[in-house]
Chains A and B, each alone.
Chain A
Amino acid sequence: MTQWQTLYTGVSRAAWGYFFLYFDIRLGQLNILPEFGAYLLFLSAIHFLEGQRRDLALLRPLGWLLAAWSGLGWAAELFGATLDFPVVGIVIGAVQMYFHFQMMTDFAALAQCYQGADQTLDRRLLRCRTLQTLLLTATTILFYLQERLPEVWAAVMVVLAVVYIVAGICLMAALFALRRCFRDPPPEPYTPTWS
């Protein structure tokens, strides 16, 4: 696999990972786009891209943790149970926030290296990263203010959910745009041959 193909595959996996993360399609109890699938795709993306961005390797243990936890949750849901461990949920929430923040930061750095001269993909990715982080923070705060804002809480959560989905779509679009940078390899340097 050439370096170009490696980058293309890595970014593709991350983009599809976000598709798994943001969308749920259910067949009865079964979620066919499980969150652990997203983390397995992210881990695969890290495998392909860590040669380019060394910091990505630091995300691997966190990725496995998140994949394991979401996998457990998926399996529990399949059997009609829920993983109701609020303290673990807080730890996972914090790790999740860092994981996505750092991964998007690394993708923005990749974009900065490989985007066209007239492109601003890196800034687009950083904007998505910032929005995602702020939304996750706002959602957490609102969860704890639920009792104090009973009248507006549901409406605010609906608005946040819509913004969250829109932000997710923007993020995926930005990653697919980054992938396009690696679709066509740059022309091989001309090497004259003598016969």
Chain B
Amino acid sequence: MRDLWGFLLQTLTVSGAAVLVLVVKTLLCRQLSPRWQAGIWGLVGIVALLPAGWGGRYVLVNWPAAVETLKAVLAGDYGPLGVIAPIPLPDAAPQTVWQWLFWVYAVGAGGCLLWYLIAYVRLRLALRRGTPAAADVTAAVEKTAAQYGLSACPAVEVEGISSAFICGVVRPVLAVPAGCAMDEKVILHELLHYRYHDVAWGMGICLVRCLHWCNPLMQYCANRAGNDLEALCDQRVLERLEGEERRDYGRILLSMADEAYARAPGTSSIANGGANIRRRIQAIARFKRYPAGMALVSVCMSVVLAAPLVVGSRAHGVYLGEHYLPGTLDMEVALATGRTTWCTTAAGALDSYGKALLTESGVLRAMCAPQAQQADLAAGVLQRERAGIQPEWETGLPCPADQTQGYFLYNLNRVAAEVYEGLMVVVLSYPPDGQPAEENCLDIAVQTVQAQKEDGRWVVVPQEAFQVVRAREPALLWGCSELPGIDYTGKVGDLEIGVSYQTITEVDNDVTQSSWLGSTTSFDLTPKPGAVFDEVRDMQWGTCTYTGAEAQKNSITRLGFSVAPMWERDEEPPTLRSVNGYSSGSSSDGTAWGSLSLEPGWGPTVRIFAGGSGGTYNPACPVPEAFWADLYCNGERLTDPPVVLEKEETA
């Protein structure tokens, strides 16, 4: 915990877990054994030790969104929210009121810990000053230990204590009141504390007490956990006693009901205060041995509760702002849900960015914006909200995008271990800058974007401003020759041949609605922060450019071109599809071919084929190393073996 917000997140998370445990314990207080009643606090202990919000997860309630909203509204802080460790680690001198408050908390936690430490050291010193237990006490301890198969521990007699207790974890001692005869059942109780390391559990409870010293709920839970440990020890004692001895044990507890509870760290005492003892006596009256089968349901119920508390949940949706709250508070809440909904995949981040562009939603952009851009993004969105300007987010597009067409992700390429780069393409609703529309053309906006991993979440970083392109294509699903691709070129005599290669990677965003009129498919605008790429299409265009003397060009009346991708450098040349007739096509293995009849005066550049195929997405995003190519001129094959078209370096 580095700031107040981290502490707030941690303490709310632990409190949520504690409330769940308290509710289940209350419902099943008479049904499940004291072992379960005490052991289930271990789950709260685990939640208290795990950093809250790790991996973009939350426990039971979306506390990160709530704390993020408070942080933004109260402190205007859009920095990262998170807990790196469940202990206070202030990293800077306090300047703001929130930092001062965190320092107060940190000093309080340290002071609390110090207080417990001093109390423990003083107690140990007092015990050191005590006299070794008299022979009869030592004999009683050893006899009780031997009778019940327990280990004995050294005993000391101390003046001024009212009841026996075990003190210490490393070298525990049994402290007994000086000059008082010890009942065997009290010794048994303390030896059972010693056997089951209850002092160590008590110290764990002390630690939680210190870390959440200003949270009354956690103080109450720490008390309950301590009392449950005592009740468990009672159960263990009663399981070893018979008939009248059990009633005697109850009477001993009753005799302590008026004693004050002198809670000391690192100790376990049979007397834990009047109110608690009354509850323990009621439990003794209900005592029963739980059958062995109960262990199964106890463990299974603990697992069922542990799964949501330890694994947690991830936010899958965001609040887009419905103006339920006054002023800009509604948008602050919406943006906070965006910032705390982590995109867990590159596809999820790019999908959120694409949908942010389509819907002009700052909340969706907040889901995938780098941390460094969050403050500016929030400031811009809130400023527009205050001024009543729509849309809420300035996308950088020259005009709104056509939501029905969705977005397209071209040439997605893995450029580093956790960096993907590609072209984000959206279709514009109308031609920008008042230009006239053209039939069978699409006005599209294109931007190079990178998806990167930042502190465990995927974000999208635009690499340039949008460029507007007029595409002479009816749809963008099968490539667009006006958009850049990866170019491969080679030369055969006076003919320069090339292949332009594009990929279009998709997240499945189709929503099909069926009715008696038929079914319709639309684009799903709901963000999918954990999306995976579903399908990839690759497209190739084969072109040929004549570079020789113009006089000889007209002697070429037909060109044929056949290509196959080279995936590895050392592979053998394949046998490419022969292009003797007038045929063209492509195959799912990446091969493409075509031929073209030429009229005098052609060119100098002609497109000979366009082909493509679709398939399942490969996370490695492979791009061919090169292309194998065969060229046919007037029906004669000019390349034997096939030539290699090399990838052109992009600027």
Is the CB–CB distance between A137 and B311 below 8 Å?
no
Please indicate the chain A residues that have their CB under 8 angstroms from the CB of B573 in the complex: none
Known: A98-B32, A141-B307. A91 touches B20 (CB 8 A): yes
Question: Which of A25-33, A143-151, A186-194 lies on the face that meets chain B?
Answer: A143-151
Which positions in A face B, CB cutoff 8 Å?
58, 61-62, 65, 86-87, 90-91, 93-95, 97-98, 101-102, 105, 126, 130, 133-134, 136-137, 140-141, 143-145, 147, 150
The yes or no answer to B23 lying at the interface (CB within 8 A) is: yes
Is the CB–CB distance between B308 and A95 below 8 Å?
no
Q: Range of interface residues on chain B?
A: 20 to 34
Please indicate the chain A residues that have their CB under 8 angstroms from the CB of B301 in the complex: 94, 97-98
List 27 interface pairs A-B (beta carbons < 8 Å), by A numbering. A62-B27, A86-B313, A87-B61, A90-B308, A91-B23, A91-B24, A91-B27, A94-B301, A94-B304, A94-B305, A95-B24, A95-B28, A97-B297, A97-B304, A98-B297, A101-B296, A101-B300, A102-B297, A126-B293, A137-B303, A137-B304, A141-B303, A141-B307, A145-B311, A147-B314, A147-B344, A150-B532
Please indicate the chain B residues that have their CB under 8 angstroms from the CB of A144 in the complex: 307-308, 311, 313
The smallest C-beta distance from B189 to any residue of chain A, in angstroms, reads 28
Please indicate the chain B residues that have their CB under 8 angstroms from the CB of A62 in the complex: 27-28, 31
The smallest C-beta distance from A190 to any residue of chain B, in angstroms, reads 38
Q: Which of B288-310 contact A (CB under 8 A)?
A: 291, 293, 296-297, 300-301, 303-305, 307-308
**Considering the chains assembled together, what is the distance between the CA atoms of A101 and B532 in angstroms?**
40
* Residue of A with least CB distance to B40: A94
Please indicate the chain A residues that have their CB under 8 angstroms from the CB of B303 in the complex: 137, 140-141
The yes or no answer to B612 lying at the interface (CB within 8 A) is: no
**Considering the chains assembled together, what is the distance between the CA atoms of A105 and B307 in angstroms?**
25
Known: A87-B16, A133-B300. 4 other contacts (CB 8 A): A87-B20, A90-B304, A101-B296, A130-B296
The smallest C-beta distance from B127 to any residue of chain A, in angstroms, reads 42
Q: Which of B34-52 contact A (CB under 8 A)?
A: none
Is the CB–CB distance between A95 and B293 below 8 Å?
no
**Considering the chains assembled together, what is the distance between the CA atoms of A93 and B24 in angstroms?**
10
The yes or no answer to B266 lying at the interface (CB within 8 A) is: no
The yes or no answer to B128 lying at the interface (CB within 8 A) is: no
Most chain B CB inside 10 Å of its own CB: which residue of A61, A62, A102: A102
**Considering the chains assembled together, what is the distance between the CA atoms of A97 and B20 in angstroms?**
16
* Residue of B with least CB distance to A139: B304
Is the CB–CB distance between B305 and A102 below 8 Å?
no
B24 is contacted by which of A94, A130, A140 (Cβ under 8 Å)? Answer: A94
The smallest C-beta distance from B351 to any residue of chain A, in angstroms, reads 16
The smallest C-beta distance from B120 to any residue of chain A, in angstroms, reads 37
Is the CB–CB distance between A133 and B307 below 8 Å?
no
* Residue of A with least CB distance to B19: A87
Is the CB–CB distance between A134 and B300 below 8 Å?
yes
